[in-house]
Amino acid sequence: MTKNKLSDFEHARKIKSPARNYDKFQALNLKIKTLESGIKNSEELYKKLIMTSNDAIFIVDKEGTIIFNSEKAIGLFGYEKGQNMYGINLTDLVIKSEKQRIFDDIKRVFKEGFIGNLQYTFLKSNNKKFTGLVNAAKIKGTFETPFAFIMTLKDITKQKEMDIKEELYKLIFNKVNDGIVLHTVENKKVGKFFDANEIACKMVGYEKEELLNKTPFDLYAKISKKEINSLIEKFNTEETVKFETQIQRKDKTKFICEVNSQIIQYKNKPAVLSIVRDITEKKSIEKEVHNNLIIIKKILDGIINAMEKLVERKDRYTVGHQRRTAELSKFIAKKMGFSEKEIEGIYIAALIHDIGKIFISGKILNKIGKLTKREYEIIKRHPEEGYDILKTIYFPWPIAEIIYQHHERINGSGYPKKLKGNQILTQAKIIGIADVIEAMTFERPYRKGLGINKALEEIEKNKGILYDKKISELCINIFKTGEFRF
């Protein structure tokens, strides 16, 4: 009996009472609700992360096909709001040369679980290119898509361009042969250097840290307070300032440099970028060249004077003629706006314009009576003789050609080549008019001087016919106003 009671007891323990089942059901129901709430909260959090992310987000299957995309992705690829990119393969979003690479990387995601910091060149819907930075991680898929990965995509086109520019800037900054320094400038005050390249540091003999504790004015060897104020004023009023100065190195030695400075914006504040070039050797060469030019000019002046004297020794009536013609020619050229260098060439040409007369007999040149036709033809050869003498000598001006043409007339009646109008050099036209005025004004072997009024009447009468009209009128005017006198 006892055995049966125990048996019945054990049997009763195995039977689940209704009350106990209810409790377990309630506990299970609570867990389900908690799980559902967690899933709902997770889903809400997931959606918020997707919506607020600055990166485009995709979920992609193992074939590379997009099965989900964020709104950011739609905008990035240029689609309209509300559209989606479902069904598009990633390989169709990159340029042709990168299709195989992205295909291989899709396989790699599933094999390795994660790939990151990969760059591809993507194509927008309008075929415009942009550089994208990709990170991808394998995730648990759904029943329909058991294999998938989530991918973030960021447009880094501008950042990449900036990186390239920065790299180029660094390359230029450190590799150019000139010193480059940057310093602050604010409230009309030049501040300290805040950057300098290696060349600038070598130029002045300071370590970079030492140089960055100084201002430009700490390095100027010879500069007055007035000059400092002037430079400061320029930095505040002009975008570009170019000047030469002497710099003192750390070891107290000095060098001459050319500074080219520009106002720039650095971190939204004005700053000065200066390119510094050591021109000490250049200045030394310039000084040597200048001294050599002075010597050469003295030699040239000596040769010109010798030529002038040579003609005057042959023709006593030519004494002073060439120099007076040269002075008048020089004055006309100056009034016409020729440069100093061009005026010098005209003066030299006029000073020896009759050099060809040294080959003509003194009897003809100094003949008191009227010249025969043959004698006149001999004299007419002097421009050509002068050209032959000078054509092989180097001048920085067309001296030989000017002398060759100084008896040409604009209507073609001159000699030796009967040139017309614009065929005649302007310098030759000037000397031609000055030559006529001087020759008529002063005495000649065959007549007394006719005076300046007669000479000007000749120019007035034949301006625009024999003589250039503009030059003629200018020449007449400078005598009438008293601006020039022989």
Contacts of 342 (CB under 8 A, 6+ apart): 333, 397, 427
404 and 439 within one domain: yes
Please state the φ and ψ torsions of residue 345, each to the nearest 5 degrees: -65, -40
Note the pLDDT of residue 9. 42
Can you say whether the dihedral through the CA atoms of 311, 315, 320, 325 is positive or negative? negative
CB-CB contact of 382 with 405 (8 Å): no
Determine, yes or no, domain membership for 118.
Answer: yes
Residue 36 pLDDT? 52
Radius of gyration over alpha carbons of the chain, in Å? 48
pTM check: above 0.75: no
Please check whether residue 171 lies inside any domain of the structure: no
Cβ proximity of 197 and 179 under 8 Å: yes
- Domain assignment of residue 385, yes or no: yes
436 and 474 share a domain?
yes
Q: Distance between CA 136 and CA 170 in Å, rounded?
A: 33
The residue from 112, 130, 157 where one domain ends is: 157
Residues 34, 71: one domain?
no
Q: What confidence score (pLDDT) does residue 5 get?
A: 46
Domain identity same for 146 and 136: yes
Q: Domain with 269 in it: what CATH number?
A: 3.30.450.20
Identify whether 80 is part of a domain.
Answer: yes
First-to-last C-alpha distance (Å) of the chain: 167
Same domain, 48 and 75: no
Give the whole-angstrom CA distance, residue 434 versus residue 295.
30
Contact 119, 125 (CB under 8 A): no
| CA-wise closest residue to 123 among 97, 84, 105 | 97
Q: Which of 250, 278, 306 is the last residue of a domain?
A: 278
CA distance to 86, 96, 380, 456, per residue, from 103 (Å): 18, 12, 93, 95
The alpha carbon of 230 is separated from its chain's Cα centroid by a whole number of angstroms, namely 26
* DSSP-assigned letter for residue 372: P
Domains held by the chain: number: 4
Amino acid 403: pLDDT: 96
At residue 13, the pLDDT reads 45
62 and 74 in a common domain: yes
Please indicate, yes or no, if residue 486 is contained in any of the structural domains: no
332 within domain boundaries: yes
| The two three-digit tokens of residue 157, written as one number | 């086109």
Same domain? 295 vs 350: yes
The phi-psi region of residue 286 (left if phi > 0; otherwise alpha if psi is between -120 and 50; otherwise beta) is: alpha
Tokens 């990170």, located at residue: 135
Residue 87, helix vs strand vs coil: coil
Burial class (CB in 10 A: 0-12, 13-18, 19+), 355: buried
**Beta-carbon contacts of residue 467 (< 8 Å; ≥ 6 apart):** 409, 410, 429, 432, 433, 436, 459
> Domain containing 339 — which CATH number?
1.10.3210.10
Can you give the pLDDT at residue 53? 79
Query: What letter does residue 336 receive in the DSSP assignment?
Result: T
Q: Are residues 402 and 312 in the same domain?
A: yes
Residues of the chain scoring pLDDT < 50: 1-3, 5-13, 15-16, 39, 143
Q: How far apart are CA 130 and CA 76, in angstroms?
A: 10
Question: Do residues 264 and 191 both lie within one domain?
Answer: yes
Q: Does some domain include residue 169?
A: no
64 shares a domain with 26 = no
Q: For residue 168, tell me if it sits in a domain.
A: no
User: Is there a single domain that holds both residue 194 and residue 75?
Assistant: no
Segments forming the whole domain that contains residue 40: 12-52
70 and 136 share one domain: yes
3-state SS of the chain: helix, strand, coil percent to 5?
Answer: 55, 20, 25
Length of the chain: 486
Domain boundary at 157, 188, 207, which? Answer: 157
